[in-house]
Amino acid sequence: MDVSVIIINYNTKKLTKACIESIYNYTQGVRFEVIVIDNASTDGSEHVLAKLPFRNYQYICHGKNIGFSKANNLAALYASGEYLFFMNSDMVFINDVVSILFHRIQNDGQVGIIGPKFENPDGSDQVSCRNFPSILFGLSRFFPFLKYFLSRQILAYYQKERDYTVEQSVDTVSAGALMISRKLFEKIGRFDEFSFMYAEDADICRQIRESGYKVVFFPEAKLIHFGGQSSRLNSYRAIWSYYFAFYYLYKKYYFGKMAVCVKPLFFVRALMGVTMNFFKKDKRVTWNNK
């Protein structure tokens, strides 16, 4: 098997079904399988997804919602592909994403992780890659007045102004859709499970870069990302997870044991985020609006 496509489902049966159908409709020229791991959905997902009649298809129902990293790590144990393609359930292919990414990464031994171009449903560009968050960027999230004293380059994180028409090496591509060789994935120890969800992509991409490989954004591969469809179902937990995921990320790469001194800041910021979300009509939590 060339590629194992791994999808986490959490109460998104219709989106997940559409995602799977688009994979089988577009993917050609590679031997692939699709593995769906269900994080204890309660919307009847099992009745719909377990019976899909596709070749090389597995549906794994987990009895507990174990989060993003743990679920992907578990699904990877069932995978037989030389490469692993992790993707969110709220996506549909525009072209042959799997084959395009597979041939690019397979033909360049310097590429450790590769990610496709994300588009919004209206065809406009969506943020597809980011810088690794700096300490100054983190401080600016807690003390907004710092933005008046710091350059745009220092504060750049979401990469909205990046040219998404050209291939390029980047700090981070989204774990919402990334491909990595199984051998390298296992070598670096798989996804770090410090977080229920969020920041795992920044972490794994940094590990890859520190191991001497490139993280590449490859816009020839294109998909539509609807965004935040699972997180809106449990938006308060998603927000809480987001801020504490970044706490553990900063602890791992910057502060070490001293991280306990800044932990109250993350607690207060998470509490503010939960409170503000209470008054929002749209409960989705997407990676470019936090």
Which residue type sits at 173? V
Q: Is 138 left (phi over 0), alpha (psi -120 to 50) or beta?
A: alpha
* Digitized pLDDT (tens) for each residue of the chain, 290 residues in all: 999 999 999 999 999 999 999 999 999 989 999 999 999 999 999 999 999 999 999 999 988 899 999 999 999 999 999 999 999 999 999 999 999 999 999 999 999 999 999 999 999 999 888 888 888 777 776 776 676 666 666 556 555 667 889 999 999 999 999 999 999 999 999 999 988 888 999 999 999 999 999 999 999 999 999 875 554 445 667 788 888 888 899 999 998 988 888 888 888 888 887 787 676 665 555 544 43
Q: Rounded to whole angstroms, how far apart are CA atoms 171 and 58? A: 32
CB atoms within 10 A of CB 2: 17
Domains belonging to the chain, first-starting first, are 3-124+162-227 (3.90.550.10), 232-278 (no CATH)
Which residue type sits at 198? Y
Tally of residues, the chain: 290
Which has the closest alpha carbon to 112: 211, 259, 29? 211
Q: Are the C-beta atoms of residues 227 and 122 closer than 8 Å to each other?
A: no
Q: Rounded to whole angstroms, how far apart are CA atoms 190 and 76? A: 9
Q: Are the C-beta atoms of residues 242 and 195 closer than 8 Å to each other?
A: no
DSSP class of residue 134?
P
Which has the closest alpha carbon to 148: 162, 159, 135, 136? 136
Characterize the bridge pairing of strands 177-181 and 111-119: antiparallel
H/E stretch holding 116: strand 111-119
Question: What was the pLDDT predicted at 179?
Answer: 98
| Straight-line distance from the first to the last Cα atom of the chain, in angstroms, rounded to the nearest whole number | 38
Question: What was the pLDDT predicted at 231?
Answer: 46
Q: Rounded to whole angstroms, how far apart are CA atoms 151 and 63? A: 47
Which has the closest alpha carbon to 71: 82, 86, 57, 81? 86
